[in-house]
Structure 1
Amino acid sequence: MLKEHKGSLLGVDIGGSHITASLIDMTEARVVSKSYSREKVKDNGVPEEILDVWINCIKRSIELGGINGSNVKMGIAMPGPFDYERGISLITGMNKLESLYKTDIRTYLSTKLAIPKENIIFRNDAEAFLHGEAHCGAVKRVSTALGITLGTGVGSAIHTAGTTLDANLGISPFKEGIVEDYLSTRWFVSRYRELTGKEIADAKPVFDLAASRDPLALGIVGDFITNLSEFLYNFSIRERPGAIVVGGNIAKAYPLYLDQVNANLVKLGIDVPVVPSALGEDAAMFGMAYYLNGNRPEENATLPSREITSLNIH
């Protein structure tokens, strides 16, 4: 626990396009709103463009929270591949944060923020997301839950018997490529370009058009629904979870697709509710706070390997 703000720890959520930081009050399970800080990140920028934004965002959160930075215990939810034990980025070939490949992030942050290295902990972002939702969010009363995050990449995790672990299925073979090729932002950008010859920055324009009943956009969303249904079927068939929770930027448009995904899974014999995140972007920060507070998986706990297959959904 932090001396300056009893019951609070600093949670940080880093994605391909953003960073969010806030103190988390563990006694009341809430974000300390006055300390909340968020910045956009240039995902394909040079190291300084990315790291400077991270530093400024974290510094602002510490300052707004009125705490002594040297005493901060900071938990960072980070997309993989990443050496979470040593704090070194291994992201390459993922179209995000690639300029940080093999950068010692822990040492850099420790030096720039004057925070002891041992007070900086990293964890897979999807794992942290599901941990937060399992403890105080959408699946807090579910003994076995699955979580996915949809955005710049695709994260996946499993929570069972009080332990949350990364499932690492985003890079699993799927259709003609890998899972991320069909469920991430780049799929929407690529598909829209293929059909229109026009460029978009992310999935939001497609969902906005779909909401206004644009036929082309509705077709793209329909293809996405099929892809997501197939992925979730494969993810859940062996686990038989009590629920599946979906987060990430693409999850914000869940009213346009989640009901149909649920209907597709029922047709396939998976009568498991797929629900949107209750905590939104705060989920991973809550997960990191619980992690720092001692709620960690057993050492060397692992998940069995899983194959992703394609289905015909009509």
Structure 2
Amino acid sequence: MYSIGVDIGGSHITSGMFEHSNKKIIPDSLAYSKVNAHAPKDEILDAWSDVISKSISKKNVLEIQGIGIAMPGPFDYYNGISKMQNVDKLDALFGVNVRNELAARLAIDSSKIRFINDATAFSVAETQIGKASLYSRAVAITLGTGFGSSFVVDGQPVLSGELLPKGGFLYNQLYNNQFADDVFSTRGILNYYTALSSKSVQNVQVLCSLINDDPYVQPVFDWLGKELGKFLLPYLKKFNAEVLVIGGNISKAYSFFGPSVSKALPDIEIYVSNFGEEAAIIGSALLLDDAYYQELLPTLKVM
């Protein structure tokens, strides 16, 4: 069985064909494009459809099971309707039934297009076919332009309950009088570097390249690991988490901040995702496993 997995961000889209029997993405099916987050509705949807079409056409497969899409919120994942408004991205899609729009453009039954939150898609990949599948209770976080999180029990994301914050979201929790999203993200790291050094860099990748030449860089990563661990500790303890999975672009710098995270979280297994940037594609493609999707539906209805 084959399905298409799609990872949509505010300014990009990546898609690929997933082979369910081998649990792998077909490498030459991957397609990517930047997208103008402030473009009109049809320009955005046409760009998305074009990339998805490329993934479909790159492999000689008679039929795909459907399309799974990892999408940032706010979004009605059950009905496929965008709720993004005044968030400086994709505002033109507010109130649009993205499922129906893409179904018409791709000539596919709308029921075969399924949506999930992007951070949750990451956790689905990790807990269904990644190393976290060996654990009952997992927390997955993504570190990048924002701070994503998902709490999972026996492969099922959970959004409510006294053991976790509402929606499983950590980005909107306060830490040292700041939202966690403003601390454990690209802007938080770069702001801290500037505060220490009175210098600025373009992104975390550039910061990593300076690790051997700039005496301020390692202290920034030591700070990140220590503070991230201190922030996560009460949530992990309350949830009785057995494993913490870290993904997102900043996870590529784990060798720099990992030791301080481990020191702050000595009693929990921690690992960096092996799937890298393909995790959300895999997690969304797994939505086309009908049995798993039926189990997930109650969660998607309130996501």
Fold match, TM over 0.5? yes
Structure richer in helix, relative to its length: 2
Is contact 1:20–1:37 with CA below 8 Å preserved after alignment? yes
Is contact 1:77–1:288 with CA below 8 Å preserved after alignment? yes
Q: Flag the 1:35–1:169 CA change in 2: closer, same or farther, 3 A.
A: same
Q: Give the superposition deviation at 1:62.
A: 1.0
| 2:258 alignment counterpart | 258
1:281 aligns to 2:277 (yes or no): yes
Which of 136, 150, 154 is equivalent to 2:143? Answer: 150
Identity across the alignment (%) = 33
Is contact 2:208–2:217 with CA below 8 Å preserved after alignment? yes
Give the distance between the partners of 1:101 and 1:165, measured in 2 at CA: 26
| 2:4 alignment counterpart | 10
Q: Flag the 1:176–1:68 CA change in 2: closer, same or farther, 3 A.
A: farther
Give the distance between the partners of 1:73 and 1:228, measured in 2 at CA: 38
Give the distance between the partners of 1:96 and 1:189, measured in 2 at CA: 22
Q: Give the superposition deviation at 1:286.
A: 2.0
| 1:84 alignment counterpart | 77
Is contact 1:188–1:206 with CA below 8 Å preserved after alignment? no
| 1:139 alignment counterpart | 132
Is contact 1:157–1:168 with CA below 8 Å preserved after alignment? yes
Give the distance between the partners of 1:201 and 1:97, measured in 2 at CA: 24
Is contact 1:258–1:274 with CA below 8 Å preserved after alignment? no
1:113 aligns to 2:106 (yes or no): yes
Aligned residues: CA RMSD: 2.6
Give the distance between the partners of 1:187 and 1:95, measured in 2 at CA: 19
Is contact 1:145–1:244 with CA below 8 Å preserved after alignment? yes
- Equivalent AA in structure 1 for residue 285 of structure 2: A
Give the distance between the partners of 2:228 and 2:144, measured in 1 at CA: 13
Is contact 1:20–1:36 with CA below 8 Å preserved after alignment? yes
Instruction: Write the deviation string for residues 167-211 of structure 1: whole angstroms up to 9, x where unpaired.
Output: 1222223322211111112223444455566654432222222x3
Give the distance between the partners of 2:85 and 2:172, measured in 1 at CA: 12
- Equivalent AA in structure 2 for residue 279 of structure 1: F
Is contact 1:188–1:202 with CA below 8 Å preserved after alignment? no
Is contact 2:124–2:155 with CA below 8 Å preserved after alignment? no
Q: Flag the 1:178–1:98 CA change in 2: closer, same or farther, 3 A.
A: farther
Note the residue ranges of structure 2 that are not aligned, 5 or more in a row: 160-167
TM-score, normalised to structure 2's length? 0.84
- Equivalent AA in structure 1 for residue 272 of structure 2: P
Give the distance between the partners of 1:29 and 1:102, measured in 2 at CA: 34
141-150 or 80-89: bigger deviation: 80-89
| 2:179 alignment counterpart | 178
Give the distance between the partners of 1:98 and 1:201, measured in 2 at CA: 26
Give the distance between the partners of 1:80 and 1:111, measured in 2 at CA: 23
100-109 or 41-50: bigger deviation: 41-50
Query: How many matched pairs?
Result: 290
